[in-house]
Amino acid sequence: MTLSAEDKKIILESIRDIPDFPKPGIVFKDISTLLNNPEAFNTLMNHLEARYKEFGLDYIAGIDARGFIFGAALADRLKVGFVPVRKKGKLPYTTVAQKYSLEYGVDEVEIHIDAFGENGCRCGDTPSKVLLIDDLIATGGTAKAAANLINKVGATCIEACFIMELTFLKGREGFDMPVYSVLQVD
């Protein structure tokens, strides 16, 4: 399922560029203007729903915090469960963690140990099929850690989905599953 040029334009034009944020030389892609634009948000969600309706998903996992927005909305449309992937220390129950490297150190994400059912299986012995989603892929460190977490608890991350990909950072390299991005920015 591909996005039409017209729909791509509607979505892309709804995303605001903020120069020199959070530091000089960076152009921040602000999705708040996409979220408050009903036509653009609905266009995006219709596309994602059409793309993933035949995947047989059990869950959508959204990365803290903007992945929660798109993931929860898509999970509702597809009538599947939603699982938050949070930064360390934000989940109240027993968790599984995965560290990942940053340009200036190490960070960590977590999910509940039973997020996708017992041993990652929603029903019986079949691993839960999970779509991972976030707003942006840059270097891919957080998303790769989140995908590893999903697989670590026994579920299967079948694809990683991003609203926007900064292609020049090559973040999609090194994933063990397909990567899909709605928009690509060079």
- In 3D space, the residue among 168, 169, 163 whose CA is nearest the CA of residue 181 turns out to be 163
CB 158 within 8 A of CB 131: yes
Catalytic residue among 16, 49, 51, 103: 103
Q: Is 172 a catalytic residue?
A: no
The rounded distance, in Å, linking the Cα atoms of 103 and 157 is: 26
Catalytic residue among 66, 77, 108, 122: 66
Beta bridge partners of 62: 84, 133
- DSSP-derived secondary structure for 111-153: EETTBTBGGGEEETTEEPEEEEEEEEESS-HHHHHHHHHHHHT
Residue with tokens 């934000």: 90
- In 3D space, the residue among 152, 92, 141, 144 whose CA is nearest the CA of residue 116 turns out to be 152
Q: Is 103 a catalytic residue?
A: yes
- Any idea which residues carry the catalytic annotation? 66, 103
